[in-house]
Amino acid sequence: MVFFRSSAFAALIFGALSAISLPIGALIGLWTRPTRTVISAVMSFGAGSLIAAISFELVKPAVERRDVGFLPLALGLLAGCLVFIILSRAADSQGAWARKRSTLLSRLKTSKRREAHGILEKLGSVDILRSLPPDEVQAILPYVSTRTLHADVPVFLQGSTGDSLYLIDSGCVAIEYCDESGGRCKVAELGKGQTFGEMALIWNAPRSADAIPLVETQAFVIRKEDFDLIVRTSPHLRSAISELAAERGRTGNIPAAAVSAEEWAREASRHLDENAYRPTETEIKVAASAGQAGAAMAIWLGLLLDGIPESLVIGASMSGFNASPALIAGLFMANLPESLSSSSMMRESGTKTGSILWMWSSLVIAVAIGALLGNLVSESLPPNAKSLFEGLAAGSMLAMTAQTMLPEAYERNIGMVGLFTVLGFIATVFFHTLGGE
């Protein structure tokens, strides 16, 4: 170990050493173009390494501290987790969600989940769909498409085979038919939120009228072949469809649904499949590009938020003038994949190389200063408060690991996560043994 005049100065130096891997990882990400598998491996390795470092350097000393007990540590862990979540959400609301693939995915999924719920609310207004079990019908959501219907161009004609249901989102459609004398009769003019062609989903009879847009109209479309695919995979839904078709044959009408559109949509949303709101790679790239261009400072603040807990960890763990090799190695290995992954995404979204390197290099200074401040605060605290402080740092880092590192590793290659998380844990345990503890 190297001795310095001041443990605070030592914390500053070791904080910088642990964070120097941030610009190194950024350079690797910019120059090597790592594959998804490589990024998953290094992210999960870093997460395992970080978990081990937290366990040995923060949780273990707090647990073993005499006359303190478990409560201050537990309260600190919970408080640190909640503080990180609150600050992370605040930063994300200002655009920091574009800093990592994991935070970007979370943002897009939340947006698409709301969009999916909105579509389900519209579908809930369709009597036929609302008469069917919502937990089964929600599976049709990925197959719902949008279509522009041009004015005066028939959507379908009387006598044609029914193949789709249409739900009007904007515009107006006239429903007309030809009577026996050849004259045209208008049945209705349908507007936003109304449907036409719905009987095609359960009844194979020809279209009974023409559907002609009066203005350019936007509509949601459910094709019968997609609906039939869902029905074939669900005996429950197939039975419900048969009952509706039988009732339509007896009375000529579909019975009124027993639940409201809101209740139906709420129940359907509870059973939404992950694939219903999973963003495509194109959507991810477009969102990343827009986010990186418009919120550079928010992204930097988000990255700083991720780095604050580790700087506190370093400062709080410094005893005298010594730094634990397990802690420094663990943080070094955790920082490397984090910047590697984020820099790769930043590059793909069009962020300039100089800006990327500036972001990560400036964090080295920020982490070093945070470690210094963490040491000054920690050394002046009584034992109870010190355990609480260590818990705050540990809880923040665990929350960061769980919310950003592991989800990103999991999303990029699920098969690599377990193995490399354990390898990262083992590596930090090994460095811990070098310290003779």
Domain edges within the chain: 7-95+295-434, 126-276
120 class by beta-carbon count within 10 Å (0-12 exposed, 13-18 middle, 19+ buried): buried
Alpha carbon distance 111, 244 (integer Å): 34
Q: How far is Cα 344 from Cα 138, in angstroms, rounded to an integer?
A: 36
Instruction: Tell me 220's DSSP state.
Output: E
Where the chain has pLDDT below 70, the residues are 1-6, 95-100, 182, 244-245, 247-258, 274-277, 281, 283-300, 302-303, 306, 313, 316-327, 330, 345, 348-350, 435-437
Burial of 234 (0-12, 13-18, 19+ CB in 10 A): middle
pLDDT of residue 299: 62
User: What pLDDT score does 321 carry?
Assistant: 44
Q: Are residues 222 and 165 in contact, defined by beta-carbon separation less than 8 angstroms?
A: yes
The H-assigned helical ranges of 252-352 are 261-270, 281-294, 296-317, 325-348
What are the φ and ψ backbone dihedral angles of 252, each rounded to 5 degrees? 85, 0
Q: What is residue 437's predicted lDDT score, i.e. its pLDDT?
A: 47
* Rounded Cα–Cα distance for residues 362 and 155 (Å): 59
Closest CA to 240 of 368, 133, 396, 393: 133
Q: In 285-369, where do the E strands start and end?
A: none
In this structure, which topology does domain 126-276 adopt according to CATH? Jelly Rolls (2.60.120)
pLDDT of the residue at 217: 94
Tokens of 390: 């260590």
- Look at residue 43 in the predicted model and tell me its pLDDT: 82
